[in-house]
Amino acid sequence: MLIARTIEALDAARAALGPLALVPTMGALHAGHVSLITAARAQGLPVAVSIFVNPLQFGPNEDFARYPRDEEADLAVLRAAGCALAWLPETSVMYPPGDATMIEVVGPALRWEGAARPGHFRGVATVVAKLFGQTRPERAYFGEKDWQQVQVVRRMVHDLALPVIISTVPTLREPDGLAMSSRNRYLAPEERRRAAWLPAILRDLRVELQSMMGADPSNDSADDNADNNADDSADNNATKLALAAAHTRLEAHGFKPDYLALVDAVSLEPIARPRAGSRLLVAARLGTVRLLDTMSVDHPPAAPAAP
């Protein structure tokens, strides 16, 4: 495995390896990251993995200073996973003196994480664009757990006509259903046990919302409009009640939700009733740890036993 820490070393590695796939990370690697590398390798391209804890995507009261860093362990994971190139830039390489350009994304970046963490997606878009420019990958791989981030990156790539294909890999979960995350290691033992309620409650909500999905109202005749409007109103109210009940359940298990929403999977706009292309997003604090999760309402994941 090649290791590059400077642009000059990265350029030499790129010349030696040829076309690449990129897996951008902030380190503290786990099996979820390995699944991204495995998916990338399956396409037949050498895989570059970047490790950079990006200060621009952390707010002033967030956990940048204590974000887990263990380069030796991360490099061991990369070697075992068959990574071809580790890109390990210092902050001075990513943001050299005189750096004066940042990328502002609106659209899918405005709500949810964008509202809860002002400036977060400006930092994400800027660093990802830099990583794409530095490594010039043919493909880049992201995990579905950070669903909003994926949509922000896709919007940026489309709008700026960047020559990279964005691929997503399903969320990898622990046996009890908790989405794998570098921040899970911050959970105290009792918090880790209770954390499994987050995906369990989300699964139950998904099942309830799926039961509300029926035929497309646009296919109904004009004579049925009054009945359809009444049905729509009832479904909208049922969706609100289901979301509110799930929110209350989260609080009952010790979570402090920042948001729990049913959204369009691409635009990230909230929607009033479940339909094709809808997705659940949640962010909730458990103690000092902020956990994210997401599930498609259309295509449920395999459900482990409830905690």
Active centre residues (catalytic): 33
Helix (H) or strand (E) holding 86, with range, is strand 85-87
Distance (Å, whole) CA 93 – CA 31: 28
Residue 174's alpha-carbon distances to 178, 199, 286, in angstroms, are: 5, 10, 17
Distance (Å, whole) CA 185 – CA 287: 13
- Nearest CA to 180 out of 205, 198, 167 is that of 198
- Nearest CA to 14 out of 102, 112, 134 is that of 134
- DSSP letter assigned to residue 101: -
Read off the tokens for 80: 């075992």
Distance (Å, whole) CA 278 – CA 295: 9
CB neighbour list of residue 104: distance below 8 Å, 6 or more residues apart:
122, 125
Read off the tokens for 115: 């509202």
Read off the tokens for 188: 């105290």
What phi and psi, each to the nearest 5 degrees, are found at residue 202?
-65, -40
CB neighbour list of residue 283: distance below 8 Å, 6 or more residues apart:
112, 113, 116, 257, 258, 259, 290, 291, 292
